[in-house]
Structures are given as structure tokens and as C-alpha cells.
Amino acid sequence: MKVFFVILLVVSFSVGAACDRNKEDKSEELSPIYLQTWDPTSTVTPVSSPTPRPIPTSTFTPTPSPIPTPTFTPTASPIPVAITPEFALDVADVLASTIESMSNVTTYKYFLEGEAQLDAGGIKITVPLAAEGIVENDNATASFSTGLMGLSFLFESFQNDDRIFSKDPASEYWVENSNFAVGLISPMFWQERGEGSQILSLPYEIRELSPVGEVELFVSQQVSDLTTVGLLGAGEDAHFYEVADVNISIMVDETHHRIGQIYAQFTIIEGGLFASDTLGLPGLSGLGEAEVAVTVSFSEYNLIFDLVVPEVS
């Protein structure tokens, strides 16, 4: 019993010593904790929080494309040609020089195109007109074509001095006649008393000055006493037609004073007679006036064509 008590006492002492060592080890391992005593009279000083600085965000600003500025191109205004007295004298000089120059021309070609509108009781019947010819010294030749209601007609003619020949369409023989030869411009057309000289004697005004050296002249008033049928042909019967309301414009080469083109508008009072006897359309003989508009172009001055007078059967 005594022995058991001694053993129990030794075990208790050993356990107590071990607990004391654990407490010392823990006290050495843990840091001391200090508790602050709150003072109720003290004032809390606020600590300013740092103001966050905004981080700049790079903003992309697109560069605007330049707006093209339209270029203004000024429109050239037509410059009116003022006819001063001095310039009017120049026009007269141009016409006088043209009359002289054309009267000395020996050869040329011409082309005619246009139409005639005949009055059929208020209804207009249109007849086409076309011709091409050559004038060489005292000779001239031409080929004229027209048509009506789908039918075409061709007339060939030749002039030697005062003699006029026509080619028969059926037999193709040349025959001499003194009638009007449609489409044939006479060799005397530009001579002193020819109808071309009369055309150039009208009171013209300037319409346009061409940069290529041409002058366009036009008749400033309607003319009723001029026979312009000579533009459509030659022969004795040409003067039998009464012509009215003539308007003409001409193109003149300012350097050589030669005619480049003639545009003519006129009215043939005996339009039905003209269509029947001249154009060879007898079915139109009973019609009224014929309003004619033609353009005649002249070219190839003073060339050699070697025209031969046809043999008459």
C-alpha cells in the first residue's frame, strides 16, 4: 500500500512538471498583445483617403477627310458682234471681193440637199431634193434625184455654153433641149449678171466669225424680188417662176473670198408647176405654193475635171 502511494506521487509530480514546461514554451512562442485604452475625450482625426487619379483614356479622334471644293469653270458668254459703221464697210468689202473672186473661178464641185413642201389644200407634201455637179469653164454637169410616195427619180443633165442636154431615162440617150435642167448650176451663175452675183449683192449682216477663217453672213430682211431658182438648176424656164420670202445665209472664206456654203429658204408661188415641169412630177401640177429649203456646198475650186460634151443622138 505504501509502495502504491509512492508511485502515484511520482507520476503526479512528473505530469505537473511537463505542463509547466509547455506553458513556458508557449509564452516564449507568442508575441505580447498590447491593448489600447480608449480615451473618451480624445478627438478622432480623420485620415484623408487618397483621391484616385483618373487614368486618362486615349480617345481616338478621326481626322476629317478634306471636302473637295468644286472648281467653278466660268461659261464663256457669247460676245455679240456689234456692227459699227466702219465694220459695215468691211462687210461690203468682203462681199465685193467675193463677187470678184467667184467671177474668176473656173472650176468647182457642188452638192445640194434639201426639200420642197407643197401645199395640197392645207396638207403639206414633202419632196426631197438632192444634186451633185461639176462646173468647168463653159461646161457643167449634174445628177439630180428626188422621190414621191416611195418612187425615186434620177435626172442627168449637161450644159455647154448656152446648150443644155438631158439624158433620157428610158433610152439613156442624150437629147438637147432648152428647158429647165433641174440640179444643174450654170457656168454663168457667178458671172456679173448671174444669179450668184445677185445673191452676193444683198444687204448682209454678220452672224458669226469662225475661228477657221470663215465669215457667216445672212440677209437681214426678207427679199421678194430675187430669183434663187438658179440654185436648183439652169435654163430659160428658170426665170418663169415667181419667188418670194427669200432668206439666205452664206459662208465665205475670208482669205480667198470664196463661197463655202449657201443656205437658202424661199417660196415658189407656182409650186405645182415647178413640181410638174421641173421635178418631173405631173401629178402635183394642181398644188399651190412650194416652200423650198436647200443647202448648197461648194468645194474643189480651180481643179481640172476634163468634162466632155455628150454626143447627141
Domain ranges of the chain: 85-299
pLDDT per position as a tens digit, 26-52: 444 444 544 444 444 444 454 444 555
User: How confident is residue 1, by pLDDT bands cut at 50, 70 and 90?
Assistant: low
Average predicted confidence (pLDDT) for the chain: 75
State in words which class domain 85-299 has: mainly beta
Query: Per-residue pLDDT averaged across 184-211, rounded?
Result: 83
CA distance 179 to 156: 13
Return all residues near 171 (Cβ < 8 A) that are at least 6 apart.
313
State the cell numbers at 36. 489600447
Asked if residues 188 and 163 have their Cβ atoms less than 8 Å apart, the reply is no
> Where on the phi/psi map is residue 55: left (φ > 0), alpha (ψ -120 to 50), or beta?
beta
CA 49-50-52 angle, to 5 degrees, is 125
Nearest by Cα to 295 from 273, 271, 264: 264
Least confident of 140-144, 268-272, 275-279: 275-279
